[in-house]
Structure 1
Amino acid sequence: MSKAQAVIIGVGDGLSAAVARELAPDYDLTLAARSAEKMQALAKETGARMVQLDATDEAAIADLFDALPAPPRVVVYNPSGRLRGPVAELDAAEVRTAVEITAIGAFLAGKHAARRMLEAEPTEGTRGTILFTGASAGVKGFARSAPFAMGKFAQRGLAESMARELHPQGIHVAWVNIDGMILNPGCSEAPDKPGSMLRPEAIAKTYRQLIEQDRSAWTNEITLRPWVETF
């Protein structure tokens, strides 16, 4: 029996890699990112196929989903556009690009993931899961970080609207608020605060739990934060 399809968009060596490793034993993986170089080692490790694309290019996103041998059961959207600076000094073109990566890219991925999932016959009432990697910036805007807040607020609204529309059609949609720093490769925790950063593998296990939730108790939004994070 062939494995179900899973797609991860926005692949790096931190959270995306952890999610790929978590899903690889049970899914036929497709990794997509702007940089092919960032995906090569992970694709070899997990047996995934690679697609190089710009997440804000609708034709490329549509082609990504159309090329799958079957409708996806899991889609994860990770990219974010970060741009910091005083609001009075921000360049409008750079702000537009940042928001397009975070919000428009999420919309395009959600649109074409849903389009393909709706082609599938439900299994126990479920067609698949779409997860958006959010941040605390989607709940509260921080100083000198307006573009990131704009994108994440929009992404959160997108996920909520999609959940209300698609849950009754058997597609689970959830927005994951990563409220804290992720312990990505190259990062380190303060010696006096072990466990103070979110471990990618721990986040990936939560993604797995969301994917496997019974539809009678679907989560549409969840916040993950380490014990040191205030809220």
Structure 2
Amino acid sequence: MSTRPLFVVAGIGNGSGTGAAAARLFAQKGYRVALVARNADHLKRLAGEINDAGGEAAAFPVENYSYGATLSVFDNIAAHKWSSAGSSSLRVALWNAGSGVWKPFLEVTDKDIETSLQTNVTAAFAFSRGAILAFKQNELDERGKRGTLLFTGATAAIRGNVTTSAFAAGKFGLRALSQSLAKEFGKENIHVSHAIIDGGILTDRSLSTRGEAWVNNADVRLDANSIAKSYLYLVEQDRSAWTWELDLRPAHEKW
């Protein structure tokens, strides 16, 4: 009985952004998809959409992104009974969850700091632990990998700004985590990559708040499906040429 590759993604929003686009793409490529997020309704809707399209997906809601809740979801995924026959092997894990705080420094509260660091750093540590422990059990695939761990970052990971003190602190931490893991676990053929998303993404939310000129101009905004394709590119790299950090922006983005 064959073993199916498994893709785990944490953070799918309302189903119109990067996490959901990646879930759809990896399902199309034959991966089982485990969807992790706090909103159970959004998870179930996306899982149903993927299953109706011929893929195989399951929803794993978490109450919050605490360390314990995030780590324990891997046990739930491992125990899940999939609809098709065969075991699963976790091969790709995407940390796409995030928490944004945009306030002048003197308006930032202790709750803002706690929320940013919990989601962007503490929960990312837990997610990484669960993924890497699973990867270490894998044999090398045809590309010489045991698994790929992906992180969705932001421009704030490398540059602070006047209203991003709390947000940047979290994203700087996420980037540092990803670089540390890439250096530590590359020796075990585990590929870790961090993507800096530099620009606005066309989602249901931005569709309702941005003007028509922005929505219809692919030169000035990112497409979630294109980001997902870039993630697949990272996963398909062989061990002779791995990317740790990738930055993605629309053609006319100022940087």
TMscore range, shorter length: over 0.9
Residues 1:119 and 2:137 aligned together: yes
Question: Contact 1:55–1:105 at 8 Å: present in 2 too?
Answer: no
1:137 alignment partner AA:
A
| 1:62 maps to 2:71 | yes
User: 2:66·2:122 contact (CA, 8 Å) conserved in 1?
Assistant: no
User: Counterpart amino acid of 2:25?
Assistant: E
Equivalent-residue separation in structure 1 for 2:115 and 2:253 (angstroms): 29
Q: CA deviation at 1:190?
A: 5.0
Structure 2 letter corresponding to 1:119: Q
Aligned 1:1-150 pairs, distance under 5 A: 1-12=2-13, 13=15, 14-25=17-28, 26-47=30-51, 48-54=57-63, 56-67=65-76, 68=78, 70-124=88-142, 125-150=144-169
Give how far 1:82 is off: 1.1
Moved more, 146-155 or 189-198: 189-198
Question: Contact (CA 8 Å) 1:138, 1:149: kept in 2 or not?
Answer: yes
Separation in structure 2 between the aligned mates of residue 71 and residue 55 of structure 1, nearest angstrom: 26
1:197 aligns with 2:206: no
**What secondary structure, in the 3-state scheme, does the structure 2 residue paired with 1:72 have?**
strand
Residues of 2 paired with 1:20 and 1:230: CA distance? 29
In 2, the alpha carbon distance for the partners of 1:94 and 1:186 equals 22
Q: Which residue does the alignment assign to 2:250? A: 226
Task: Measure, in 2, the Cα distance between the counterparts of 1:55 and 1:158.
Answer: 21
For 1:4, what is the secondary structure of its paired residue?
A: strand
Aligned amino acid, residue 18 of structure 1: A
Instruction: Provide the residue aligned with 2:188 in structure 1.
Output: 169
Q: What letter matches 1:59 in structure 2?
A: G
Q: TM-score, normalised by structure 2?
A: 0.86
Deviations 1:162-211 (A, max 9, x none): 00011110111000000000011242465277111000010000000001
Match of 1:212 in 2: 236
Paired positions, count: 231
Aligned-residue sequence identity (percent) comes to 35
Q: In terms of mean alpha carbon deviation, does 120-129 or 133-142 score higher? A: 120-129
The alpha carbon displacement at 1:54 in A equals 4.3
Report the CA distance between 1:76 and its aligned residue: 0.3
Separation of aligned partners in 2, 1:106 and 1:216: 27
Let me know the Cα RMSD of the aligned residues: 1.6
The answer to whether the 8 A contact 1:8-1:76 is kept is: yes
**Structure 1 gaps, min length 5:** none
Deviations 1:43-91 (A, max 9, x none): 0011311111146333333332223254410000011111121211211
Q: TM-score, normalised by structure 1?
A: 0.94
Preserved CA contact (<8 Å) 1:159 1:173? yes
Between 1:25-34 and 1:118-127, the stretch displaced more is 118-127
On the 8 A contact 1:129/1:173 being kept in 2, the answer is yes
**What SS does the corresponding residue of 1:191 show, helix, strand or coil?**
helix
- Mark the CA change 1:134 to 1:182 in structure 2 (over 3 Å): closer, same or farther: same
